[in-house]
Amino acid sequence: MTDDGPPREPRSDAGAADLRAPTFGAGRDRHDDPGIAADSEFRSYYGRPVLKPPVWEWKVPAYLFTGGLSAGAALLAAGADLTGRPALCRAGRLGGFGALLASGYLLVADLGRPERFHHMLRVAKPSSPMSVGTWILVAYGPGIGLAAVTELLPGSLRARLPGPPARVGRLAGLSSAALAPALASYTAVLLSQTAVPAWHEARRELPFLFTGSAAASGAGLGMLLAPVHEAGPARQFAALGAGAELVAARLIERRPALETTAYTRGRAHRLRRASEYLTLAGGLAAVTVARRSHPAAAAAGLALLAGSALQRFGTFEAGVASTKDPAYVVIPQRARLNARVGQQPPGG
């Protein structure tokens, strides 16, 4: 405060100055209501964020990626087991279990105290995505873990043993595969139910984005580790997952809402564009050159894995950016209020 009067309100440094929106009285005659102001440029209180940005670190988007990778690999492994592709099945089971271990470590590391995960098991709240997700993880883990253990038995021993080990591995793999879609998508529901504008506005597309990304990454892992003659299902799975991921990503960007512009600006935009290029390249290679060459299949698999990881980091970055710019909160609120005011009958 100075003797010349109160300081000016600085504009938001995240792009709010470029955005114009009507105030509460937009679309109505100012003479109808003297309390309603004319259109004006959006400005927040001292340019400060309205929402507190998420305190999560890089471990959270990495957790989102590894959890989806585990789900995609488990689903692919179950299909490979049922169709007699042992090398692809082994890659999916071991890769899926390894990704789950990494996902669990990242989750617990971000929580800071391991007992916090244990505390989530004290209750089961169907209305809470976090509670449901915790129980999905608990139900999914034993299946993929037991299936991976059966793959670690020496090959000579597995050949001499009767059916039970193989049968146990198959049942365990099928149980994890049944829960894989829920594991791949629950994190999208969890993000979209927060107050973060970019995540909440994309709540219809995020589950499809994450599920497609999980399928693409799981298929990429299979193409990377399995021989070409067994990787046919992985190549088909890669094309399907990559297509779903790319379509969902574009649908988010084309939503007629201010909040989704957070996906097309700054660091989030760069990460997601790199993801799309890698995913598209990996998907196209999966149905062309990867059918004849393992080096090409491995390169396509790596591209799909990298694209899936960048998609999660880009989505995370878009959410963080939308909390730092107050325009993403205030302008949509004003628009909704204007819509409600416009729907009221005269004199209502």
Least confident of 4-8, 224-228, 284-288, 289-293: 4-8
Burial of residue 342, with CB atoms counted within 10 A of its CB: 0-12 exposed, 13-18 middle, 19 or more buried = exposed
Residue corresponding to tokens 């209750």: 123
* Contact between residue 49 and residue 324 where contact means Cβ atoms under 8 Å apart: yes
Please, which pLDDT band fits residue 47 given cuts at 50, 70 and 90? low
Q: Which of the pair, 137 or 119, is modelled with greater confidence?
A: 137
Mean pLDDT of 303-326: 93
Residue 55 has pLDDT above 80, yes or no: no
Lowest mean pLDDT among 39-48, 262-271, 310-319: 39-48
Question: How does residue 29 score in pLDDT terms, banded at 50, 70 and 90?
Answer: very low
Is the per-residue pLDDT at 39 higher than 60?
Answer: no
According to the model, what pLDDT value does residue 322 have?
Answer: 87
Question: How many Cα neighbours within 13 Å face the side chain of 67?
Answer: 29
Using the 8-state DSSP alphabet, how is residue 126 labeled? T
Check residues 66 and 133 and name the one with the higher pLDDT: 66
What is the rounded distance in angstroms from the CA atom of residue 197 to the CA atom of residue 121?
Answer: 29
Q: What percent of the chain has pLDDT over 90?
A: 54
Across residues 198-219, what is the average pLDDT? 95
Residue range 5-21: mean pLDDT, rounded: 41
Average confidence (pLDDT) over 44-63: 70
Report the alpha-carbon distance of residue 282 to residue 276 in Å, rounded: 10
The pLDDT, as a whole number, for residue 28 is 39
pLDDT of 193 > 80? The answer is: yes
293: DSSP letter: -
Instruction: Please give the torsion angle defined by the CA atoms of residues 146, 151, 154 and 157, in that order, rounded to the nearest 10 degrees.
Output: 70
pTM score: 0.79
pLDDT at 120: 66
Question: In whole angstroms, what separates CA 127 from the centre of its chain?
Answer: 20
**pLDDT single digits (tens) 242-278:** 999 999 999 999 988 888 899 999 999 999 999 999 9
| DSSP per-residue string spanning 36-85 | ----EE---GGG--SSPPP---THHHHHHHHHHHHHHHHHHHHHHHHTT-
User: What DSSP string describes 258-272?
Assistant: GGGGGGGSHHHHHHH
Question: pLDDT confidence of 127, banded at 50, 70, 90?
Answer: low
